[in-house]
Amino acid sequence: MPRLPEITERNDQNQAAFDYLQKTRGAVRGGFAAMLASPDIAQRIAHVGTYVRFESPLPPHLRELAAVAVSAELENPAEYVVHARQCRQLGIGEALLAAVIGRAPVAGASADEMLAIDCARELTRDHKLSDATFAAARARLGDRGVVDLIAAIGYYAMLAVCHVALGIQPGK
């Protein structure tokens, strides 16, 4: 049950944030509609998300798998439902998604896919990233790529905390 009302109309206090969300996401809904209770934070979080989702050179399938893994680990169905849909569009199979969402051992993933899942799981489960996993991610993605992957994981973890605390449920 949502704990705050969704703000779906522009007003003097939220105008800049509302317009930014509309421009970058096409609509104001879900977690961002609730976070508009604090327009500055909504816009700043959305700005990071714009980079993570639309501007980062991180391969989209890795970003989306990391988003699903973080959201599943932090019990945020509002986010993993959306990103699982995007994974499917990128060719990620149902068995892999079911394992990630179910927080189960993963079989059949490519080395790159496992890397994204392992990074997300280690950071959310253990609150650290092992030297071996970091080295593998850095070797595969380079310095910028590993930073972008870690930042994407942090972004989706922040959304999970907000969504869970605000009672955001999966949309249609």
User: pLDDT tens digits, residue range 82-113?
Assistant: 999 999 999 999 999 999 999 999 999 999 99
Does residue 147 belong to any structural domain of this protein?
A: yes
21/32 Cα distance (integer angstroms): 8
Statement to judge: residues 144 and 88 lie in one domain: yes
Statement to judge: residues 45 and 77 lie in one domain: no
Statement to judge: residues 84 and 118 lie in one domain: yes
Confidence class of residue 1 from pLDDT cuts 50, 70 and 90? Answer: confident
Statement to judge: residues 26 and 85 lie in one domain: no
Q: What's the N-to-C CA distance of the chain in angstroms? A: 15
Crossing angle of helices 111-121 and 131-166, rounded to 10°: 60
Does residue 68 belong to any structural domain of this protein?
A: yes
Statement to judge: residues 72 and 136 lie in one domain: yes
Does residue 133 belong to any structural domain of this protein?
A: yes
**Number of domains the chain contains:** 2
Say how many C-beta atoms besides its own lie within 10 A of residue 160's C-beta.
Answer: 25
DSSP 3-state assignment of 1?
coil
Statement to judge: residues 27 and 83 lie in one domain: no
Statement to judge: residues 38 and 121 lie in one domain: no
Statement to judge: residues 83 and 144 lie in one domain: yes
Statement to judge: residues 34 and 119 lie in one domain: no
169/49 Cα distance (integer angstroms): 19
Statement to judge: residues 142 and 69 lie in one domain: yes
- Report residue 6 as tokens: 């969704």
Alpha helices in 122-130 (DSSP H): none
- Domain that residue 42 falls in: 15-55
Statement to judge: residues 93 and 150 lie in one domain: yes
- The mean per-residue pLDDT over the stretch 146-156 comes to 99
pLDDT score, position 172:
52
**Phi and psi angles of residue 118, each rounded to the nearest 5 degrees, phi first:** -60, -45
Tens of pLDDT along 16-53? 999 999 999 999 999 999 999 999 999 999 999 999 99
- Report residue 44 as tokens: 């700043």
Does residue 7 belong to any structural domain of this protein?
A: no
- The mean per-residue pLDDT over the stretch 57-70 comes to 98
| CB neighbour list of residue 69: distance below 8 Å, 6 or more residues apart | 100, 116, 117, 120, 121, 124
- Report residue 86 as tokens: 């995007």
Statement to judge: residues 73 and 46 lie in one domain: no
Does residue 44 belong to any structural domain of this protein?
A: yes
Please tell me the pTM assigned to this model: 0.95
Does residue 50 belong to any structural domain of this protein?
A: yes
Does residue 167 belong to any structural domain of this protein?
A: no
| CB neighbour list of residue 100: distance below 8 Å, 6 or more residues apart | 65, 68, 69, 72, 106, 117
